[in-house]
Amino acid sequence: MNAIEIRGLTKNFGAKQAVNGLEMTVPMGAIYGFIGENGSGKSTTEKIICGLLVPSGGSVKLFDRNYTDADVRAKVGVLIEAPGCFPNYSVYNNLMLQAANLDIQNPEREVVKVLKMVRMEGAASNKYKNCSLGMKQRIGIAMALLGHPSLLVLDEPINGLDADGMRIMREVLEDITGTGECTVVIASHILGELEKIATHYGIIRGGRMIKEMTAGELEESCRTYVALQTRDMHQSKMLLGRKYSRVEEDETGYLRVYDAATPEKIVTYLYENGILVSEIKTDKIGLEEYYIDLMHEKEGR
Amino acid sequence: MVAGNELKFESPRFFTRIKSMLGVDFYRLFHTPLFYIFLLIAAFIPALILGSGGMENPDGTTSALLYTNVWNAVAANMPLYAFSNIGEYANMNMVFIFGGIMVSIFIGHDYKSGYVKQLFTTHAKKQDYMISKSITCAFAMACMCITYLLGSVAGGLFAGLDFSANVGSLIIAIASKMIMSLGWASLYTFLNVIFRRYFGISIASSFLFGTGLPIIAIGMIFGNEAGSVLNIFLYGSSVYACLGSNIVTLIVCLVVSAAWAAIYNMLGTKLLSKSDVY
């Protein structure tokens, strides 16, 4: 059974088509990284999953049931855009309100528990409006976690978080998905961070899913490259460019050779042309580069 | 709930769903200063109207009494649908005007804060929202009726006005107006669902309907003879609950209020189910 199964989903806002025949499958227990440019249809899809928008066509199933079923929707936790909190209420009162919404038994205990999970127990009495952006994101996660949801839908949950906040968020998500009881869909632009936790990926563009894969498949798809440094980077780039199809200088000052068979061949080739290699290593491109490459591919570049 | 990868679903029953939604709305109502401010407004206005009558003005003249009997501030002597003088209209029906504004702000905060995301994500049935909001706001308006009554008594005592009345009719009139709160609250909830993205229009529309201007206009065209027909509307029944009320008045108000509440709840549910909610 999949946590989410979307077939042929479309959503129009007037003449504008935000989602265009989207197909999406999120297995149970997955941390699904939902990636796409601004306006690609990520948030619209998430809002449809949460029942906030009515689709123009297609089907959405959550845990093999229609997404409009009351029983299945009671198991969804959400953080879309900003947390839905009342600014003049304290953090604690906002969470108590959500506990009332979910008809949770022992609400005080549950609220304290989720506050501890997001490391916010010390800020319970703060008014929501006085919280920092990072704190608000964590409150949103705490709110989404109330009632032990089986599906968490998070839109940009790590936006505005500092390094420590991101680490906490990562730990929280790993904790809640560790048992396989909770499936998480995360839309995020911070791909480096997403790569550390996601088990599955979906890449959306122009309202269509252009690629769905597991973290393992991404690992296999990510091209290996040889990164090197020489005393004459300009000459090296020119020489390597004659022999290999893709040679680029990266932002850290390394020259990347993508379709090289082995580093030894490159070292030998440059040596034969009078250039000494000072540093060389092999590596794999990350999610971010994979995504950029895929986007360029789709644009026909 | 979960065993391995097996999920067990429990279909929440209607009363369980409504209970949790009501839990949210009543929690919010009792934790928002807005509710208490409107209770005070409802008490202050009749107290001010009654208490200031007959007082000496700075120029030495005495201001005219709007009412000589306290209970006229609560309900008119008889149902008057066509406009005659302000005294016939400035009674407990005013609660429905303030109540409309309160409901608009209360519901508007759901959307402004984004809390509706939490509500509609976990509550798939849109009727839960309509019913819960209508009941909560009806309760708030009924409370405003009580503080209005207390304010009237206090103002009347201060001004030394006449308290004589047919107690049975008076109780029925007050109870009928309180019952009408449900219909009014449902109307305002529906209007706020229609204009959920436009806070200002929500308030303006609630105010317009609360004043009963559409019914007053009909009353002016057809005269008070149209009365029995106008009773099928919320404002008509609210006017019908007067100091000459009897058990029929109570039944009419009960039926009209419940019928309109059902109609507005049904329309609101339909609208929310067919359109984007956030």
**Tens digits of per-residue pLDDT, B149-174?**
999 999 999 988 999 999 999 999 99
pLDDT of residue A106: 93
**Residues A86 and A185 grouped into a single domain:** yes
- Structural domain containing residue A92: 2-217
pLDDT of residue B1: 39
Chain A contacts of B270, Cβ < 8 Å?
none
**Residues A227 and A202 grouped into a single domain:** no
Structure ipTM: 0.79
Domain count of the fold of chain A: 2
Domain regions of chain B by residue span:
18-53+63-274
Instruction: Name which of A139, A120, A119 is nearest A129 in CA terms.
Output: A139
pLDDT of residue A297: 76
- Identify the residue among A11, A12, A44, A52 best suited for mutation to test binding to B, counting B beta carbons within 10 A and taking the highest: A52
The DSSP annotation for B62-109 comes to BPPPS-SBGGGGTS-SS---S---HHHHSSTTHHHHHHHHHHHHHHHH
Q: Is 60 exceeded by the pLDDT of residue B68?
A: yes
pLDDT of residue B222: 74
pLDDT of residue B136: 97
**Residues A162 and A248 grouped into a single domain:** no
**Residues A280 and A141 grouped into a single domain:** no
Residue A97 or residue B51, greater confidence:
A97
**Which of A185, A217, A249 is the last residue before a domain boundary?**
A217
Q: Is 60 exceeded by the pLDDT of residue B257?
A: yes
Residue A163 belongs to domain with CATH number: 3.40.50.300
**Residues A90 and A124 grouped into a single domain:** yes
How many C-alpha atoms does B85 have within 13 Å on its Cβ side? 6
**Residues A49 and A131 grouped into a single domain:** yes
- Confidence band for B227, pLDDT divided at 50, 70 and 90: low
Subunit contact B114:A82, Cβ cutoff 8 A: yes
**Residues A118 and A243 grouped into a single domain:** no
> Which residue of A lies nearest to B111 if distances are taken between CA atoms?
A84
Query: What's the pTM?
Result: 0.83
pLDDT of residue A6: 97
pLDDT of residue A155: 92
**Segment B5-50, tens digit of pLDDT:** 567 777 778 888 898 889 889 999 998 899 999 999 999 999 988 8
Average pLDDT over residues B70-81: 86
pLDDT of residue B3: 41
pLDDT of residue A194: 87
pLDDT of residue B4: 45
For chain B, which residues lie within 8 Å of any Cβ of chain A, measuring from their own Cβ? 1-2, 4-5, 7, 9-12, 16-17, 19-21, 23-24, 27-28, 31, 109, 113-125, 273-278
Residue reference for tokens 């990072």? A134
- Confidence band for B188, pLDDT divided at 50, 70 and 90: very high
Subunit contact A71:B119, Cβ cutoff 8 A: no
**Which of A217, A252, A267 is the last residue before a domain boundary?**
A217
Residue A257 lies in a domain: yes
**Residues A232 and A207 grouped into a single domain:** no
pLDDT of residue B270: 96
Of A70, A72, A80, the CB nearest to B117: A80
Residue A252 lies in a domain: yes
For residue B21, the distance in angstroms to the closest alpha carbon of chain A comes to 6
Cβ A203 vs Cβ A296: under 8 Å? no
3-class secondary structure, B256: helix
Averages of pLDDT over each 10 residues, chain A, 301 residues: 95 94 94 92 95 95 91 90 90 93 91 91 94 89 91 88 82 80 89 88 93 87 84 91 86 83 86 91 81 76 54
Burial class (CB in 10 A: 0-12, 13-18, 19+), B222: middle
Residue A258 lies in a domain: yes
